[in-house]
Every structure is written in structure tokens, then in C-alpha cells.
Chain A
């Protein structure tokens, strides 16, 4: 049984940049505990000497020509997507 606490969930949420409310963290803890207990059954499987699979294309070293692809987009079109801009830059709250 995986023992995962609300504090663990809050720590993971913080690592994932999710600012959870306390109520939400409590309800997620229960769900996550159940899901982890379910996936834990993999531990009974013998995987000694088995190589992991990270991708299924069998493609290796896919090259492309060294050309810049702008996707036909202008800088302004992308800036328009940002929630806040100033002087052709994306604006965020002060960091320092």
C-alpha cells in the first residue's frame, strides 16, 4: 500500500506549479492514493534484464535541414496571444 499524505500531495503540487486549495488537496490525496495502489500491481512483475521502451517508431537520428521555420508567423501574431504585453515584450510581475 502506498501511503501518500495530503502534505505529500501539496509538495508534488508545488513541484508541478499548482497552487491547490486545502480542500482540493484533501480530495486529490484520496484519488491519488487509490490510483497508485492500483498501478502498484506492476511490482509483482519480473522485469529483470528487460530493456525499457521509450518510443515505438524505431526511428533514429531524424535529421532536418538547418533552416529556420517561422511557420509563417510574425512576432506580433505571437505576442497577441500573451495575456499581458508591454513594448513588444511579454509582461510578468516583477521577479527581483
Chain B
């Protein structure tokens, strides 16, 4: 893997060329949807000429293909937006460019970020960086793989229910999902608005911290952004953490549990007090998530109508067909499943039993987290119950596929920051991560702690 410092103080043009050629050498992983060679080299020349300066001057990066970028398509890995060229950039991209970073391409994902394996992509599945027969995880699978392969020092991802943390764990990289509202989502394709967050995947926590420092902050174009609060910390003050009991059950792969146990032992050796906490509501987090999120998806995806942008079905001869056939052709099966489930749980007669019930369950989950944080600074456990699974293994069973999200959706529903840090590998050589969850707006301390403890 490579770090940001490897690209500082060197020729930006050479940096970009190096990253582009590394991307081309690794095409077999199918981690990228497009490369932005022309614009990237133009910007690199400006950096070398001293016209653009900043903390990331000349550092190449890759964005998940649900960030709107200039000079390239933004496909969301879908047929719907296969040829879509955005007229604006996401705020997060804008901020990184202002500091001299150069976006060299767009990473593969599950179409519209619906999935946990990057198999639901109209551009084919991304392969795991450590075993090409296995999934990359998802939905930010491409972003995790390009970092793990050393193509770029960092990549942007989005995390709605684990889409940064789980692929980070599957590929042995750092993945940061901030507190809900930390980074502006302006210019990022919406999935589930009450849990969508933007974060980063990188080889080190230090690099993730720098990128978060640049991206975070209030944005008048995203009214859900929080007033500025993120400020990197030199040293962690954390003294007490707890392992989440429910995350260490027999249902979790023993080698995955072992990684957390080894990590916890290392913390104890450093003088951190480690307790155990039980959060019974965690058992209900996944069903809650798969009600709330499809509901929001069904609303957010109503905008894809084949009228204003994206692909219109050539067979449509009436307005209803423009909508119906364009959506039929543009969405993948998983998109349709979620839209239909969302319509179901929001429909009159079922609203109270599903959607309202789930939002009440969410309150109970948040209450349990709050109580745990009265006694502990951070909560610790695995990221996913198993290491990366085989490509195709869960494709025919959506419920089984959803189970991979069981340990990441709780922090999402509560809006909490959470990181996945590399914690070794299984006997088969598959990476395993450890997840650290903090209270809202504890992001800076969370990263300081994660840095200290690896």
C-alpha cells in the first residue's frame, strides 16, 4: 500500500502517471469504472507549475462512482446513468481539489450503493484485493480495493449501513464512517438520507484523519451538515472501552472473533481498561435497517424518471412507459427489491406495523448506545461476522447477503462515528478488521485512539 506522504514533494504529473499505470496494471480486479486521465494530468501540471497548492498538492485519489465529478462520468454503477456526465462537483471533491488533491478515476460499487459485495454492479463485480475468487465487500468495494492494491493512498466512499467499514475490513485497509452530518453530501447520489454518510478508505489512520479534516464542515448546500466540530487531536485521552457482547457470539466466525480478542489484549497491555457491554437491541438493528432504508430509497429513487437526465427507454411510447420502462431497464434487481419493499412498508395499512415500528425501535437502539457511552468511551467488536465470501456465494439469497451488515448497521441507525482498522488475517490469508464505535461527534478522539492502538 502507499501513503499520502509518498506523493508529497514529488512531481504531480509523475504521481498521476504512476497511479494511472498502477490502475491499468490491476484491471483484472475490476475495481474502477473509469479513469479521468485528461483532467487529472491537466490539474497535475497546474500543481507542478505552482498554480495549485495545499496539504494534498499532487496527491492522486479515487472517488466511489456515486460522487459527482467533472471530466468523467458518474454512473453509480448503473445502466441508468451509464453515460451521465455531471455538470457540478460534490462539495467533498471540491474541498480536496482546493487542497491540491487530484481525482484520477471512479471506483466500482453496488449499483446506487445497494449491496454489501460490489457484485450488484452493471459493470460486473469487483474482486477482493487478497483473493480474486472472493468479493471486495461493499458497497464501496472498488474504493477499498484500489487502496489495498496501492494504486492511490486514499479513496472516497459512502457508508449508509457499513459500505465503507465492511469492504475496508474485507481488504485490510482503514475505513472511516464519520458522525452523521460531518461531511457535506451535496453532489453525492442519495440512497437513504437519514443514514447516508461520506468517509474515506486509506492505508493509515493518519491519512484518513487528514482527509476527514479537509472534507468535514458545515456546507450551506447540505442543510444536514453539523456546525464545524472536527479537529484532529495529537493524543488520545481514552481510558475505558468495552467489547460488545452480542458481536462476539458463536454465530461469528472464530477467526474474526480472535482478531478482536488479540486487539483487545493489546489495548489492555497499553493500560486501557476494557469492559464488556450488552446491547440487547442489537438483535433488532438489522430488521430495523431493512425497513427504514428501503423506505428512504423508494423515495430518493423516484427522481430517476428518464425525463430530466439518465437513460430513457427507447421502447417508451407514452409518459407512463417513459417512467416504467426506463426504471425497469435502468435499475438492477436489488434496486427494485428495495424500492418495492420501501413502497410496501410506507403504504397505508402497513406504515404503522413496519415503518413507524422501525423508527421506534431505532429510538430504543439509540437509548442503549447512549447508556453504554455513560460508562465507556468506545465500543469495540468485529466489522462483519465473516471474512470476504466467495463471489456468487450469497447472490441468490438477499436475506443472507443482508446478514453481512449486521454489525455495521447499528452505528448507522444511531448516526455514530465508527472506524474499521486492519487486525490481521485468517489462516487462509483473508484480512479481518476491528470496528471501533464512538458517540456522536467523538470523531477526532476516535481517530486519535485508533491511531494509538494499531
A17 touches B327 (CB 8 A): yes
How far, in angstroms, from A19 to B321 measured CA to CA in the complex?
A: 8
Q: A34-B398, A38-B290 are in contact. Are A81 and B309 (CB under 8 A)?
A: yes
The reply to whether B319 and A56 contact each other, CB–CB distance below 8 Å, is: no
Q: B268-299, CB under 8 A of A: which get 1 and which 0?
A: 00000000000000001001101100000010
Query: Interface size (A, Cβ < 8 Å)?
Result: 54
Given contacts A20-B336, A32-B337, A83-B312, contact A51 B290 (CB under 8 A): no
Flag whether B308 is at the interface (Cβ < 8 A): yes
The chain B residue sitting closest to A14, CB to CB, is B324
Q: Name the B residues within 8 Å of A41 (CB-CB).
A: 284, 287
**CA A51 to CA B362, docked complex, whole Å:** 9
Is B328 an interface residue, CB under 8 A from the partner? yes
On whether the beta carbons of B399 and A38 are closer than 8 Å, the reply is yes
A68 at the interface (CB under 8 A from B): no
The answer to whether A35 and B337 touch across the interface, beta carbons within 8 angstroms, is yes
Please name the residue on chain B nearest to A74 by beta carbon: B87
Task: Tell me, yes or no, whether A66 is within 8 Å of chain B by CB.
Answer: no
Assess whether A16 is in contact with B340, with CB atoms less than 8 Å apart: yes
Among A31, A40, A73, A93, residue most surrounded by chain B Cβ atoms (within 10 Å): A31
List A residues 23-75 near B (Cβ within 8 Å): 24, 27-28, 31-32, 34-36, 38-43, 45, 47, 50-57, 59, 62, 64, 69, 71-73
B194 touches A55 (CB 8 A): yes
Instruction: Let me know if A39 and B287 touch, CB within 8 A.
Output: yes
CB-based contact A35/B341 at 8 Å:
yes
Q: Which residue of A lies closest to B354 (CB)?
A: A39
Please state if A93 and B316 are interface contacts (CB–CB under 8 Å). yes
| Complex alpha-carbon distance, A21 and B315, angstroms | 14
A92 within 8 A of B: yes
Q: Which secondary structure dominates chain A's binding surface?
A: loop
Judged by a CB distance under 8 angstroms, whether A1 is at the interface is no
Task: Please tell me if A95 contacts chain B, counting CB pairs below 8 Å.
Answer: yes
User: Which of the residues B224, B309, B310, B339 comes within 8 Å of A16, measured between beta carbons?
Assistant: B339
CB distance from A88 to the nearest CB of B (A): 14
| Chain A residues, Cβ within 8 Å of B84 | 81
Q: Nearest A residue to B311 by beta-carbon distance?
A: A83
Chain A neighbourhood of B353, CB < 8 A: 43
Inter-chain contact B194/A56, CB cutoff 8 Å: yes
Determine whether A7 belongs to the interface, using a CB cutoff of 8 Å to chain B.
no
Bound-complex Cα distance A94 to B248 (A): 60
A35 contacts across to B, CB distance below 8 A: 290, 337, 341, 398-399, 402
- Residues in A with CB closer than 8 Å to B318 are 93
- In the complex, B373 has a CB within 8 A of chain A: no
Give the nearest-CB partner of B367 in chain A: A50
Given A53-B363, A56-B414, A81-B308, does the pair A43, B357 have CB atoms closer than 8 Å?
Answer: yes
Q: Which residues of A contact B305 (CB under 8 A)?
A: 17
Nearest B-chain residue to A92, judged by Cβ: B319
Decide: A42 near B358, CB < 8 A? Known: A18-B328, A53-B366.
yes
Given A12-B344, A34-B399, A52-B362, CB of A20 within 8 Å of CB of B290? no
A83 to B87, CA, bound (A): 15
Closest-CB distance, A80 to chain B (whole angstroms): 8
What is the CA–CA distance of A5 and B194 in the complex, to the nearest angstrom? 30
Contacts of A17 in B (CB 8 A): 302, 305, 320, 323-324, 327
Bound-state Cα–Cα, A56 to B302, Å: 23
Min C-beta distance of B441 to chain A, whole Å: 10
Given A43-B357, A83-B310: A18 touches B88 (CB 8 Å cut-off): no
Question: Is A20 a contact partner of B220 (Cβ separation < 8 A)?
Answer: no
- Asked if B307 lies at the interface with its beta carbon under 8 angstroms from chain A, I say yes
Give the shortest distance, in Å, between A3 (CB) and chain B (any CB): 13
- Give chain B residues whose Cβ lies under 8 Å from the Cβ of A80: 87
- 9 smallest A-B Cβ distances: which pairs? A56-B415, A19-B324, A52-B359, A83-B312, A47-B360, A81-B309, A39-B287, A17-B323, A50-B360
Which B residues contact A (CB, under 8 angstroms)? Answer: 84, 87-88, 180-181, 194, 220-221, 223-224, 226, 284, 287-288, 290-291, 298, 302, 305-312, 316-325, 327-328, 331, 333, 336-337, 339-344, 347, 353-354, 356-364, 366, 397-399, 402, 414-415, 440
User: Which A residues form the contact surface with B (CB < 8 A)?
Assistant: 4, 9, 12-21, 24, 27-28, 31-32, 34-36, 38-43, 45, 47, 50-57, 59, 62, 64, 69, 71-73, 77-78, 80-84, 90, 92-93, 95
In the complex, given contacts A47-B364, A51-B360, A56-B414, what are 9 additional A-B residue pairs having Cβ atoms less than 8 angstroms apart? A17-B320, A18-B339, A19-B325, A38-B290, A38-B402, A39-B291, A40-B287, A57-B226, A93-B322
